[in-house]
Amino acid sequence: MIQPRAFLLLIVVSLLPACGGKNPIEPQPQPPALACPSSISVEAKQPDGASVTFDQPTAREGRPPYVIQCAPSSGSLFPVRKTPVTCTATDADQKQTSCSFDVEVRVSQSLKKTRFLAFGDSLTGGLVSPASLIDNPDSYPYKLERMLEERYPAQDIAVLNDGEGGQRLREGSIRLPLALDAHRPEVLLLFQGIISVKNIPTATNAGYLRTMITTARQRGVDVIIATLMPVGAGLEARDPGINAAVVKLNTEINRLAQEFNLGPPVDLYALVHAEPRLIGRDDLHLTAEGYTKMAEKFREAIVSRYDQRTP
């Protein structure tokens, strides 16, 4: 006969396999893991910086689906500096993790001077042959500004057009101080003299140019001076001696450039002498292509003087 105590022990032992012993501890879900992209370095595309896109970080572990957010987000406008980007992943259990990387927007190429005043007569103003004033988009100052903006997109660059048709050097020397005070440029692009080149002595015209350079220098304005262009064969035939007078004044322009340490003049004479087709039908003003090449010559001079690069 089984005793009551032994019977109770038998029941407990018989039930143990069915209960499985101790209750197992379920593993706790892990938070998600997040892998950010490598840090990014780009050139500024505009004065405010650059719009930068980057790959979405990759999430794993945790319990999908994941919600991934980055601040600033991909495609944002990043300023010119190093900006940290923080990305956060949230899984289905609302567990979170984060990672970070840097976006650096740099300016490795820039101009020391950015405000220019193009001063002169109708060749600066944008007169094209036959004598009709073309819109600013076809004048050399306008084209020059676009060229510089394309090369230096991180800077605000201005090339102001102050060309006045029919103006002689004497009139220009009187008008220049007012123009400098009104526009306050950093650099004067001086190209003038063809209107009075033959009828006024070369020494007198050179004196007016000297006054204009001195006026700019007294205001702390740099000067880039250009040589005069030759006129077309038709105008030379109608009024012989113009091109000889141009050569004489250009000699004085080169001397002034050396005296004031302006750097080499923008040699527009050589440009047009080599490509006379750039002169329009009135034998004086340029074609639209001629103004483009004129702008390119001024751009070369500006870049050679004021371009600066950082590692």
Q: How far apart are CA 195 and CA 239, in angstroms?
A: 13
Q: How far apart are CA 302 and CA 298, in angstroms?
A: 6
Domain range summary for the chain, segments of one domain joined by +: 32-106, 110-309
Q: How far apart are CA 164 and CA 81, in angstroms?
A: 43
Q: Which two tokens stand for residue 191?
A: 């190209």
Q: What is the DSSP letter of 101?
A: E
Q: What is the pLDDT of residue 132?
A: 46
Q: What is the pLDDT of residue 306?
A: 97
CA torsion sign for 95, 83, 72, 107 is negative
- The CB-side HSE value for 183 (13 A sphere, CA atoms) comes to 24
The pairing of beta strand 109-111 with beta strand 307-309: antiparallel
Q: How far apart are CA 228 and CA 233, in angstroms?
A: 16
Indicate the fold that domain 110-309 takes in CATH.
Answer: Rossmann fold (3.40.50)
Please, what are the averages of pLDDT over each run of 10 residues along the chain (311 residues)? Answer: 50 48 64 92 92 92 92 95 95 92 93 96 76 63 95 95 92 97 97 94 98 98 98 95 97 98 98 96 92 97 94 72
On whether the pTM is more than 0.75, the answer is: yes
- Of the candidates 310, 186, 193, 293, the one whose C-alpha atom is nearest the C-alpha of residue 251 is 193
Q: What is the pLDDT of residue 111?
A: 96
**Cβ atoms within 10 Å of 137's Cβ, excluding its own:** 10
Residue 295's identity, in one-letter code, is A
Q: How far apart are CA 52 and CA 189, in angstroms?
A: 37
Q: Which CATH superfamily is domain 32-106 in?
A: Immunoglobulins (2.60.40.10)
Domains 32-106 and 110-309 share a fold: no
End-to-end CA distance of the chain: 100
Q: What is the pLDDT of residue 9?
A: 45
Q: How far is CA 17 from CA 10, 23, 178, 183, 275, in A?
A: 13, 12, 106, 98, 105
Q: What is the pLDDT of residue 13?
A: 45
Q: Does an H or E element contain 169, and which?
A: helix 169-183
